[in-house]
Structure 1
Amino acid sequence: MHVRRSSLPLAACAVLAIAPLHAATPEDHASEKQAVLTPFQTLLDGIGKRDHEMMRSALLPGGMITLTRADKTQQLHYDAFIEHIPATGTQKLEERIHDPLVKIDDNIAVIWAPYEFLVDGKVDHCGTDIAHLVKQNGKWLIAGIADNGRKDCAPAK
């Protein structure tokens, strides 16, 4: 293809016109990663508080969770999973994630994070959580979760 010299400045202007005004900074990326992690932490906090509405607020309606325990896999719709968490009780429940890996592409994201689940401050089980999220109306929501769980865990720190 032959391009006339006089059309080059015009082509350059067209490219600049559609380019973003500024590139995302590391701070922008860190802020968006935190925004992705927020609903997941809200879900975990809701479990700890036995607050079903708090848990629901982080979830995209209609989603599912897949739990693997002792080579058995169980899939639950979010409502069934939430009902699985007792609304009352004396045991203190806490799930801690660490070193989360977050990947984002426009309005979808994934979280991969090792975790420990504690009952009354003692590790009950551990494993890895994987969540995929979607951004709707500027808000990240968890569209699906998978986790595995095992008993051979190091003591909680």
Structure 2
Amino acid sequence: MKIYYILLCMCFGLTANAQKQEVQKSIEIFFEGFHQRDSSKIKSVCADKMILQSISESLSKGNKLSNETANEFYKSIATIPSNMKFQEKILSYNIQIDGTMAHVWAPYEFYLNDKLSHTGVNTFTLFKEKDSWKIIYLIDTRRK
């Protein structure tokens, strides 16, 4: 009986890990598209009505919450000058899943022309639509 219980626990653990890998892959595709300035690739892992928000933290200017539509975001990605070098380096992924909803907490460092510009945390909420995870909500913090 113990052997069946152990096997059941192992199968559950493998399934949960596979789900987390699928969620992380969606986030990785998002950032591949971001770094390639490819809004089509980004759209492939985003819901049509994705919500985007940013929280800018500044001692001198105070904290500010800003909103951006998905279309504004895609347009801004496609219009980044080709001579601008940027990289958003994800430091870790903390992924939690409940059924068809996933939440990802991902601290990052953002580099502009090889210099650290700002740091913060991205949080993504995803929905499993058919067989793929789609980003439905993205909010990040930004601090110098």
TM-score by length of 2: 0.83
> What is the RMSD computed on CA atoms of the aligned residues?
1.7
Partner residue, 2:65: 73
Partner residue, 1:89: 82
Cα drift, residue 28 of structure 1: 2.2
Structure 2 residue 48 is the aligned partner of structure 1 residue 55:
no
Query: For this pair of structures, how many residues does the alignment match?
Result: 131
Gaps of 5+ in 1: 1-21, 152-157
Q: Distance in 1 between matches of 2:31 and 2:97?
A: 21
**Matches for 1:5-154 after TM superposition, within 5 Å:** 22=8, 24-70=11-57, 71-85=63-77, 86-151=79-144
1:91 counterpart SS class: coil
Cα drift, residue 120 of structure 1: 2.3
Q: Which amino acid aligns with 2:89?
A: R
Cα drift, residue 77 of structure 1: 1.5
Query: Among the aligned pairs, what percent are the same residue?
Result: 25
Deviations 1:94-137 (A, max 9, x none): 11112211000111000011111112222211100111000011
Cα drift, residue 39 of structure 1: 1.3
Q: Which amino acid aligns with 1:26?
A: G
Cα drift, residue 52 of structure 1: 1.0
Q: Which amino acid aligns with 1:83?
A: K
Normalized per residue, the structure richer in strand is 2
1:25 counterpart SS class: helix
